[in-house]
A and B are shown apart, each in its own frame.
Chain A
Amino acid sequence: AQRVTQPEKLLSVFKGAPVELKCNYSYSGSPELFWYVQYSRQRLQLLLRHISRESIKGFTADLNKGETSFHLKKPFAQEEDSAMYYCALRGRGSNYKLTFGKGTLLTVNP
């Protein structure tokens, strides 16, 4: 079975502070990991995926297979980063479905 755990429901930081949203997963194999984001009154959308090794809006995430983690990081948070963030895992083969964590609500205070 595949499972995604986001241990923090809420995370509050000040503008300019570093932010890290935690994500741990359970999957027997090599999964694909994603971060999706939902800004207020907008639809859920892809932020980044581990295979692309890209930085989007200053956010990065590194897949750590040893710790089965895929934490999302940004060195200097901005107010516009306030949103709901979901970590998601896609298995392979017959388990090729996208499983989401429960999400973390990030609030960046001025």
Chain B
Amino acid sequence: EAGVAQSPRYKIIEKRQSVAFWCNPISGHATLYWYQQILGQGPKLLIQFQNNGVVDDSQLPKDRFSAERLKGVDSTLKIQPAKLEDSAVYLCASSTGWTVLDNSPLHFGNGTRLTVT
């Protein structure tokens, strides 16, 4: 099966600029996740979608970050305006479900490496 696709692979912007990342999950996967991974740390969940609805966005800095999954398939994550501390790898992942009865693993994309200067 095709994996989770993300673009772009790399992005360099100046602080206060905006940036958008795109993710296309594995076909048929209902749940989509965006993680932020700062250098030297583990991935941190930013937002989780079940189809086109938000399940968890408690760690999303909503004053500058936004995400959508309008048709329940692909998703975009936007940062506006960017800060230096947003420099990180942004990982998209998908899985087949989200209930406690579903043990499906997360399938990750290659990530987008963002550098804010």
B42 proximity list for chain A (CB < 8 A): 4, 6, 86, 88, 100-103
The tally of residues in A whose CB lies under 8 Å from a CB in B reads: 24
Other-chain residue from A32, A96, A100 in contact with B43 (beta carbon distance below 8 A): A100
Q: What is the 8 Å Cβ interface bit string for chain B, positions 95-117, against chain A (1 contact, 0 not)? A: 00011100101111111000000
Q: What is the 8 Å Cβ interface bit string for chain A, positions 70-110, against chain B (1 contact, 0 not)? A: 00000000000000001010001100111111110000000
What is the size category of the interface that chain B forms with chain A?
A: 20 to 34
Other-chain residue from B48, B99, B103, B109 in contact with A43 (beta carbon distance below 8 A): B109
A51–B103 contact, CB under 8 A? yes
A/B interface sample: 12 pairs, CB < 8 A? A32-B103, A36-B106, A43-B109, A44-B43, A44-B93, A46-B105, A86-B43, A96-B99, A97-B48, A102-B40, A102-B41, A102-B42
Given contact pairs A43-B3, A43-B108, A43-B111, a sample of 5 additional A-B residue pairs in the complex whose CB atoms are under 8 Å apart: A6-B42, A34-B105, A45-B108, A86-B43, A102-B41
Task: Give the docked Cα–Cα distance between A92 and B4 (Å).
Answer: 25
Other-chain residue from B33, B100, B105, B109 in contact with A49 (beta carbon distance below 8 A): B105
Whether B19 is near chain A, meaning CB under 8 Å from some CB there, is no
B108 proximity list for chain A (CB < 8 A): 43-45
Residues of A within 8 A of B (CB): 4, 6, 9, 32, 34, 36, 43-46, 49, 51, 86, 88, 92-93, 96-103
Other-chain residue from A46, A86, A96 in contact with B100 (beta carbon distance below 8 A): A96
Give the interface centre of B4, B41, B42, B108 by most chain A CB atoms within 10 Å: B42
Q: What is the 8 Å Cβ interface bit string for chain B, positions 76-100, against chain A (1 contact, 0 not)? A: 0000000000000001010000111
Least distance between B58 CB and chain A CB atoms (Å): 8
With CB as the reference atom, state the residue of chain B lying closest to A94: B56
